[in-house]
Structure 1
Amino acid sequence: MENKDIKIGLKVILSVEAQMEFIQQAGDLREVNALLTRVMAKQKIQALIKDSNLTTVCDAVMDLALMGDGNDAENRLLAAAVLGRLSAVARGRENEVFARLPELYDEPPLPIEELADGDEKYYAALSFSALKSSWITEYCTTQAVLTDTAEKARRVLLHTALKSSGSLSMFWQQSQHSFETLRVIESDDTRYKRIRRISSTMNEVVRVWEGEVGPDAGLALADWVAAMTKTSKKDAETAVLTDILDDALAMLLRIIELRFSHALLAPTYIMLDKARTAFGSVLWKEVIRHSNNLDKVRTALKEAALVLARQNRTDKAVMDVLCSAYHSRAQVMPAITAHFSDAHEIEPEVRAWWEQGGQITESQRKAEHRMGNSEDQQIGSLLINVEESKTVMEKLERAVVPFLEISDPPLAETVKKAAARYSEIALAARQLATMRKLKHMDLKGALLEYNPLQHEMLGGHQLGVRKIRVERDGIQKDFGGKIKVLVKPRVTPAD
């Protein structure tokens, strides 16, 4: 090799042939790394790795890494960085770059902080993302916490750990222990600024995750946040702690985005209680006052309450979480009332429970049920049938009886007695309904917006129906000022 082709100090190679000769004859992986770095900086790398040259270069890197010259571990870590660098520029040919990568690692590599700079750490992380080893999740989570300011590397490491874990829940469970390594940082301010960088990057990774959520994801996230924030916060800045909380809340919202059913489960939000405990009541009030994402979580909780209420369900656990999300139960009550304002179809008893912060006692609810809802429904149905038969019975007595008195006097007498007995039954039904505070809804013949919770569609529920006509009236009852529909009006599509 001629000296005019290679300037060893700067590793500037003037021809591709000379570059390849240098790489194949090099005895030190650091020299190869320096050469590739310089060629990339000059945007000459594509000519070097063209066609079969890429495999030749990667084989040379692997051979140097596996020489076993006493710097074996350092060389293997550096080789990961070199191969990662090549994969970054060999778009679509990553499989060629990483073909022999598994040969490097029977056990976890040295800490990624051993590398020279952020770029090398990033490229090494790219290599680790191509591995399927059993240690990859633990190694990547630990290195993502240990690295200080190499944010690109941290992002790749966390994404690799999450992909390896298979779900958000499993990742948060498996990575909690990694925060123990931060205890060596004595300054609260320095420690929590590092944690903020970690939580911010993790939030970015979770935001683009489209895989599985996993079981009990809310509980796993809560434990992850608790492990991250359990150290002293005496000298930590409030703004830094607020950012950390907002990142955690954003990840909570991502769980709901990916699987909305989790929004209806109180354990999804347990992170609020864990964070409150970790921060302490005084600091917690200050942090949530400046939070940007807490209102979004509150809205998700109110929507969950609304869905449950529309299903005629109450949920004490969800109500307790709502109280945690707000400062007090007193603040929850007007918030729920405002959120339920347009939901007119909710049963009055269920609405009252939610709007009163779940403070209706069981004895109060049992007292209401002792008023006889099922019996009242039967009385209401009887009243409807009696009223619908009224016109027929009146015509029978007024028009049919006179003919029967001429043609069949005994039958006429029987019909008279039946009509009289009907009048007695009708009177008794009306009196009983009055005693039970039942009354007609006076909707027969009306055109209304269809609401499956308030109307009974003849022939069964039909999708797409908006306007309906009431064919049979309904019955409602006054429960101490709360009106509840006991017998739904029967309706047909208005079209």
Structure 2
Amino acid sequence: MSSSTPQWEDIEKATTLRALDDVLTAAMAAHQLQTLLQDEKLSQLVQHTYQLCNAQNAEERLLLAALLGRLSAVVRSRVDQVFEGFESWMQAPPASLDSLKDGDEKAYAAAALGYLDPAPAWLMKYAVSEAFELDAAENARKALLAIVRDRADDYAAVLNAMTIGFDNLAIEAPDARLRRLKRILDAWKEVSRDHFWPLESNPGEVLSAVVRSALRYVKEAKDEDLATEVGDRLLELLLRVVQLRFSYALEANTYAAVRMMKAQFGARLWTHLRSHSQVRPRVLTCLREACLVLARQGQTDMALLEAMKVMYATRTSMTTDIKRHFVGHHELDSEISDWWISGGTKRMAGNAQNRELQADADMLIGQLLLEGEATRRPLENVRINLMPLIEEFVHDPVVFASLQKGLSGFVEMSTLLRQLCRFRRIELSGLQGEAMTYSRTRHEMDGGHQPGITQVRVIRDQVVQVLNGRERIVVKALVEPAREQKNT
């Protein structure tokens, strides 16, 4: 360089990307880079950078990304100028970040890749692979995981990406693997905090796959505290499912990953986690509250209890916790409450059959309500528009009287039906004609279930029963695929 402080002439004299990067690094160290890039100098430097890069060389494309990432960190208000045209140089993936000389360069390169828009097809796969393979470049790892966070369509896509990353993590030494897992999961926790994704279906099985892939080879690990920390980070992935859609807290499938974690850790590490985990109490809160909500709805769920039992040393400690959680909730059916408090061991008496009969009766009432509402409008049209014509032109008093009696009888029956529905707290949802996300628990597909359908239109309303502020579906809404999906 011409002097101890880099000058613009030093930038112009650089004949390779590495030489140019060395000049910029020295200028940053001397706090002179921002001064050198005033006015049009930034655009000139970016063009000079592109001229020095061999687009056919994967390592040079990576160094290009690192150099532009360094510039963007300095001229944040003009970052668009830095990355103008960058995507045309990144049609193929660059070399591995490990080929760069230090953690700063890796972080700059990873940050630059996040500016690729539109994102190339290779970006997601590259980000996952590099984020999991990096040993200690934590800032680079976070930048790569931020790409995964921002490019994932939904939370299931995030979990699938993690499964692939852990599957390809070729570290078999138990404690070394746990150390890498903790770095990855800590970085993910930091970059994903406060981020929300769509969640259209329960990802319990996908989450189990993440746990299975992550915890391979760790059963013989000696560091029990480290294993517990890793287990807690994985449990936080489960809690994010509940955070994204609380209704999944009521489904046993959500907690399938806990059973997988116990199997992968083995008795020793799992026992230590159960005693020392900081996240386990939050998971148990979700489970206990799920038991209470289901009990309020008059439901039992042995699968949920089996999932819950994994988190306890004994069934007695589990049932003691459930009993404590149910204290003060006098609205609960005593038989249902006793079933939950017994851990599912207490047999249900004849009242269970009565509840089933009540549910069947409510369903019939709901179906009758739908039929009555569907019939009411045509008959109202007959009464208003046709009856005067029949009276005037048919000249048959018997026919007219019979029709009039039939219409009056329907009005009386409709009034009694509505009164019955009010007694049973049964009502229409008012969803007919609306488009919404398909749910097999709330919708019945016209013509039978069709896989792959996500958006539907309601063609027959849903009937619900609202008791104590809680809604129970009596008759599912009849739906058909939304128009845009029917055309695909």
Q: TM-score, normalised by structure 1?
A: 0.68
Q: Deviations over 1:325-353 (max 9, x none)?
A: 22232221111110010211111121111
- Give the match for residue 111 of structure 1: 96
Q: Measure, in 1, the Cα distance between the counterparts of 2:272 and 2:66.
A: 43
Per-residue deviation at 1:369?
3.5
**Gap change, CA 1:225 and 1:203, over 3 Å in 2:** farther
In structure 2, the partner of 1:93 is 78
Partner of 1:416: none
Partner of 1:57: 45
Return the match for 1:23 from 11, 35, 59.
Answer: 11
Contact 1:138–1:175, Cα closer than 8 Å, also in 2? no
- Residues 67 and 219 (structure 1), Cα distance of their counterparts in 2 relative to 1, 3 Å cut: closer
**Amino acid of the residue matched to residue 42 of structure 2?**
L
SS in 2 for 1:231: coil
Change in Cα spacing, 1:253 to 1:26, as seen in structure 2 (3 Å) is same
Partner of 1:223: 209
Name the structure 1 match of 2:147: 160
Partner of residue 320 from structure 2, selected from 309, 328, 334: 334
- Residue 191 of structure 2 corresponds to residue 205 of structure 1: yes
Post-superposition Cα deviations, 1:428-457, rounded to whole Å, max 9, x if no partner, equal: xxxxxxxxxxxxxxxxxxxxxxxxxxxx99
Distance 1:61 1:236 in 2: 50
Change in CA separation of 1:99 and 1:282 when aligned onto 2, cut-off 3 Å = same
Distance 1:305 1:232 in 2: 33
Shift of 1:28: 1.1
Matched, 1:259 2:265: no
For 2:44, the aligned partner's letter is T
The residue that corresponds to 1:278 in the other structure is: 264
Q: Paired residue for 1:32?
A: 20
Indicate conservation of the 8 Å contact 1:136/1:164, yes or no.
no
CA distance in 2, matches of 1:81, 1:368: 67
SS at match of 1:320: helix
**Aligned equivalent of 1:172, options 147, 151, 159:** 159
Pair 1:128 & 2:113 matched: yes
Cα contact 2:55–2:61 (8 A) shared by 1: no
Q: Quick check: 2:10–2:23 contact (8 Å CA) kept in 1?
A: no
Percent of pairs with identical residues:
32
Aligned mates of 1:66, 1:103 — CA distance in 2: 13
Structure 1 pair 152–372 and aligned structure 2 pair: CA distance change class (3 A)? closer
How far residue 92 of structure 1 moved from its aligned partner, in angstroms, is 3.1
Cα separation, 2, equivalents of 1:252 and 1:97: 39
Structure-1 separation of matches of 2:307 and 2:212: 17
Aligned CA distance change for structure 1 residues 371 and 311 (closer, same or farther; 3 Å):
closer
Shift of residue 292 of structure 1? 0.7
Q: Give the equivalent residue in structure 2 for 1:325.
A: 311
**In 2: Cα distance, 1:181 partner to 1:301 partner:** 33
1:257 is aligned with what amino acid?
Q
Q: Give 1:144's match in structure 2, choosing from 110, 126, 131.
A: 131
1:324 and 1:372 map into 2 onto residues whose CA distance is 30
Cα distance in 2 for partners of 1:210, 1:24 equals: 45
- Secondary structure at 2:349's aligned position in 1? helix
Structure 2 counterpart of 1:56, one-letter code: Q
Cα distance, 1:367–1:296 mapped onto 2, change above 3 Å: closer
Show structure 2 runs of 5+ residues with no match.
362-420, 427-466, 468-488
Contact conserved, 1:170 with 1:214, CA < 8 A, in 2? no
**Residues 93 and 123 in structure 2, CA contact (< 8 A), matched pair in contact too:** yes
> d(CA) in 1 for partners of 2:167 and 2:206?
17
CA distance 1:327–1:222, shift in 2 (3 Å): same
User: Using the alignment, how far apart are the partners of 1:118 and 1:296 within structure 2?
Assistant: 36
Residue 242 (structure 1) aligned with residue 228 (structure 2): yes
User: What amino acid sits opposite 2:60 in the alignment?
Assistant: N
Q: CA RMSD in A?
A: 2.7
Question: CA 1:97/1:215 → structure 2, altered by over 3 Å: closer, same or farther?
Answer: farther
Distance 1:265 1:283 in 2: 26
Deviation at 1:356, TM superposition (A): 1.1
Note closer, same or farther for the CA distance 1:162–1:192 as it changes in structure 2 (3 Å cut): same
Structure 1 residue matching 2:76: 3-state secondary structure: coil
TM superposition shift of 1:357: 0.9
Q: Contact conserved, 2:218 with 2:264, CA < 8 A, in 1?
A: no
Contact kept in structure 2, 1:84 and 1:124, CA below 8 Å: yes
Corresponding position of 1:491: none
Cα separation, partners in 2 of 1:254 and 1:370, compared to 1, 3 Å: closer
